[in-house]
Amino acid sequence: MKILVVDDDPTIRDYLKEVLNMMGHSVVCVADGYSAIDYVREHDVNLAYIDISMPGIDGFATLTKIRDLDPKVSAVMISGESVDVMLETNFQKGMYVCLAKPFTIEEIEEINKAYSKIKDPLEFIYDNPFGFDTEKISGAKILVVDDEKEIVGVIEECLEYENFNYLDTANDGEEAIRKFNEYMHDVVIVDIVMPKKSGIEVLRHVKAISKNSQVIIITANADKNSAITALKLGAYDYIEKPLDIDTFPRTVKRAVEKKLLLDRI
């Protein structure tokens, strides 16, 4: 299996990597929740081992965001507390099992063997996690906002290739707000640095007017802290320039699915 280990303790990370590799699994380790989210955005993962108590963003918030990006991912949540306390206080959808520190090789082996038996049925179910037909997804209203026309063109071409057929564009924040007020788009893709109104201002406006609409932030690496702020303000996700045209459509599709799901509730 492809396993992601998320823990700020290097001793735990190294131990899990050694044990899981020895069991024949492919393992990647990261030290915090944001790095885990970045990894899942671009790579497939079957199972994640996630520490609950981490600086910046805790394990449950990390799992929630990971499953927004890929609902197939389940998690083994690691805690220094007793498992009973953790179950009582914070059981979360997507958590396959709880693992209390200190844990043994035998416990890890038992967890992985059990999960491998249900992995394929789970992934089959989550290929279309919310049961939406393709016409409903491809008909979503999407607004692309960037002052670089080349970027707008690349995104349009990419989404048209993936059969999204309702695309609007804007070249500054004020134009984006005007168009959103008129059409109430399902998903807004906006550069964080924009003339007239910033991406953060567009995000705040969209969430104030239509809380179910999803906003994807485009950012350069230098603006990553601002992108993280955007996540805290309700952005669905952020993507870094240069855009990865292989993973970008999946992010947009998941954002559309989340909007449609929220509209159902």
Question: To the nearest whole percent, how much of the chain has pLDDT over 90?
Answer: 26
Q: Give residue 132's identity as a one-letter amino acid code.
A: F
| pLDDT mean across residues, the chain | 82
User: Do 12 and 79 belong to one domain?
Assistant: yes
Neighbours of 160 (CB within 10 A): 11
Tell me the pLDDT tens digit for each residue of 32-89. 998 898 888 878 888 899 998 888 888 888 888 888 777 778 888 887 764 444 444 4
Same domain, 140 and 228: yes
> If pLDDT is split at 50, 70 and 90, which confidence band does 181 have?
very high
The DSSP 8-state label assigned to residue 156 in this structure reads H
Q: Are 63 and 84 in contact (CB under 8 A)?
A: no
Please state the rounded mean pLDDT for residues 112-122: 63
- Would you put residue 234 in left (φ > 0), alpha (ψ -120 to 50) or beta? left
Beta-sheet strands, E only, within the chain: 2-6, 26-30, 47-51, 74-79, 95-100, 142-145, 167-170, 187-191, 214-219, 237-240
- Which of 125, 148, 174 marks a domain boundary? 125
Q: Indicate which CATH number applies to the domain containing 104.
A: 3.40.50.2300
pLDDT tier at 223 (50, 70, 90 boundaries)? low
Question: Which of 144, 156, 16 is closest to 76 using CA atoms?
Answer: 16
Same domain as 105, residue 57: yes
